């Protein structure tokens, strides 16, 4: 991989992850299908569930249920990018999220406001349609939850 | 636009927006004039005013009044960049801001601390003097305001 | 410096700073030695101490003591990069940090939670081993501290 190819790939990966965040906070799951996730992608949030969600349908089924009746803010920062050949990369992003739910939210959590900070550990691959997110694991260093009136 | 030109333009736009934030939080309006805004730029904050501020003089007149007697923190994240030819781009940035005012702040708001999170939807153009911010619309997904002692 | 060289250097600097944050919040001081700091680096936090810490040993001695018994979150944003020739750059990053300590933390501070926002003013140089952080000064525009139960 020469310098230019590496820069192009790094920028493509940043664009994919930017659409990940935009789609998530706007509940634009079509954007996730078209421009973010590989169809066989995996999403793993160990603090939520031991097993990853496998495949874009399972990912969207969970995330769309979890984000129903919720305003969410997810921000990503300072990716550490390491390439495995020309068509794959491992990336770690720092992240912060804030979730605002009503008391009537369908998922039981015992909170209406959550503030988390941690990291995504991800793998991207170049597929025929472009760079796509193939696996994502989210862990948080700190989570604060509270129940508002 | 070839790969290298696109990367160069994307980096130039990031540098412009970095100076937008630095100038805003340091009240360095000369930096805004010299390196950030096109002279005919427009700033639109619909939650504040229906009409955009048009032109750098009107923009600075409002922003410098609004930020008087205020400490502000504005952060931008994860730009989604789409080029319209070689000399123009549409960019969406996630953002977070925190504003700290005294009770004596000249603009009436009913708060001394504001915490907002949302997006800038912007257009940049390559002008003779370099890439410049031509229009910016700010909307927030969440705003919390409070009055401290 | 041609366009490609500038982009390559800018990305290398971003990767160094990403490892700065990752190393700091994971207390991975080996990562700091290997991939972040020049051996003769200087860290200056005027609100903490008038004099900079000089040299990687002094930096790690202080930071590892200050972060003992602490969960920390440091995020960096929107670098303003200016090159001084091909082998040196001055960079300003916006930053936000959150520190969570126990009451038993060895350093006296009078707080268990700190939330700060400000800027790093830094210098990077290309050394034989790659781009490295040579000096870093941290100032904050706003700091909130509180003592929790």
- Provide the token pair at C29: 């001081």
Name the pLDDT band for A88 (thresholds 50, 70, 90): very high
User: What distance in Å separates the CA atoms of residue C124 and residue A15, rounded to the nearest whole number?
Assistant: 26
User: What distance in Å separates the CA atoms of residue C43 and residue C134, rounded to the nearest whole number?
Assistant: 9
CA proximity to A81, closest of A13, A2, A3: A13
Q: Which residue of A has its CA nearest to C77?
A: A77
Mean pLDDT of A11-26: 98
Cross-strand bridge partners of residue C82: C90
Residue with tokens 């730009």: B79
Touching subunits of B (3+ CB pairs, under 8 Å) are A, C
Contact check, Cβ <8 Å, A18/B141:
no
Contact check, Cβ <8 Å, A18/B96:
no
The CA–CA distances, whole Å, from A80 to A88, A121, C18 equal 14, 10, 6
Q: Specify the higher pLDDT residue, C81 or B148.
A: C81
Contact check, Cβ <8 Å, B73/C81:
no
Reduced to 3 states, what is the DSSP secondary structure of residue A132? strand
Say if residue A108's pLDDT is above 70: no
Q: State the CB neighbour count (10 A cutoff) for residue B95.
A: 21
Reduced to 3 states, what is the DSSP secondary structure of residue B145? strand
User: What distance in Å separates the CA atoms of residue C120 and residue C135, rounded to the nearest whole number?
Assistant: 10
Q: What are phi and psi of C53, to 5 degrees?
A: -80, 130
Mutate which: B3, B80, B83, vs A, most A CBs within 10 A: B80
Residues ≥6 apart with Cβ < 8 Å to C64: C27, C29
User: What distance in Å separates the CA atoms of residue B103 and residue B105, rounded to the nearest whole number?
Assistant: 6
User: Residue C94 in contact with residue C46, Cβ under 8 Å?
Assistant: no
Q: Which residue of C has its CA nearest to B5?
A: C3
Residue with tokens 């990018």: A81
Mean pLDDT of A95-114: 88
Name the pLDDT band for B108 (thresholds 50, 70, 90): low
Please provide the average confidence, as pLDDT, over all residues in chain A. Answer: 96
Residues of B with CB below 8 A from C117's CB?
73, 98
Q: Which residue of C has its CA nearest to A7?
A: C8
Domain of residue C118: give its range: 3-146
User: What distance in Å separates the CA atoms of residue A21 and residue B35, rounded to the nearest whole number?
Assistant: 29
In chain C, the number of structural domains is 1
Q: What order of strands is seen across the sheet that includes strand C130-146?
A: C53-54, C37-44, C130-146, C113-127, C88-101, C70-83
Contact check, Cβ <8 Å, B117/A73:
yes
CA proximity to C20, closest of C93, C98, C114: C93
Confidence (pLDDT) at B149: 66
Mutate which: C98, C114, C122, vs A, most A CBs within 10 A: C98
Say if residue A149's pLDDT is above 80: no
- Which CATH number does the domain housing residue C137 bear? 3.10.450.50
Residues of C with CB below 8 A from B91's CB?
none
Q: Model's pTM, two decimal places?
A: 0.97
Mean pLDDT of C90-101: 97
CA B9 to chain CA centroid, nearest Å: 19
The CA–CA distances, whole Å, from C131 to A31, C97, C134 equal 37, 24, 9
User: What distance in Å separates the CA atoms of residue A125 and residue A134, rounded to the nearest whole number?
Assistant: 6
Q: Which helix (H) or strand (E) covers residue C15, if one does? A: helix C3-26
Residues of A with CB below 8 A from C7's CB?
7
What percent of chain A stands above pLDDT 70?
99
Contact check, Cβ <8 Å, A94/C77:
no
Confidence (pLDDT) at C149: 66
Total count of residues recorded for chain C: 149
Contact check, Cβ <8 Å, B25/C141:
yes
pLDDT in tens, B49-93: 999 999 999 999 999 999 988 999 999 999 999 999 999 999 999
Residue with tokens 């399972």: A58
- Nearest CB neighbour to B141, from listed A8, A73, A77: A73
- Nearest CB neighbour to B80, from listed A4, A18, A71: A18
Mean pLDDT of C32-48: 97
Confidence (pLDDT) at A102: 87
User: What distance in Å separates the CA atoms of residue C68 and residue C45, rounded to the nearest whole number?
Assistant: 18
């Amino acid at each position: 991989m020469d310098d230019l190819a590496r820069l192009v790939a790094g920028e493509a990966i940043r664009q994919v992850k930017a659409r990940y965040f935009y789609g998530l906070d706007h509940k634009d799951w079509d954007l996730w299908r078209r421009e973010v996730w590989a169809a066989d992608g995996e999403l793993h949030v160990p603090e939520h569930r031991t097993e990853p969600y496998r495949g874009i349908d399972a990912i969207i089924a969970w995330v769309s249920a979890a984000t129903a009746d919720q305003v969410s803010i997810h921000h990503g920062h300072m990716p550490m990018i390491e390439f495995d050949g020309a068509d794959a990369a491992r990336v770690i992003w720092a992240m912060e999220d804030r979730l605002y739910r009503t008391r009537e939210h369908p998922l039981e959590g015992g909170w209406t406001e959550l503030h988390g900070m941690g990291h995504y550990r991800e793998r991207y691959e170049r597929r025929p349609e472009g760079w796509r997110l193939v696996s994502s694991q989210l862990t948080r260093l700190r989570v604060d939850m509270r129940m508002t009136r």
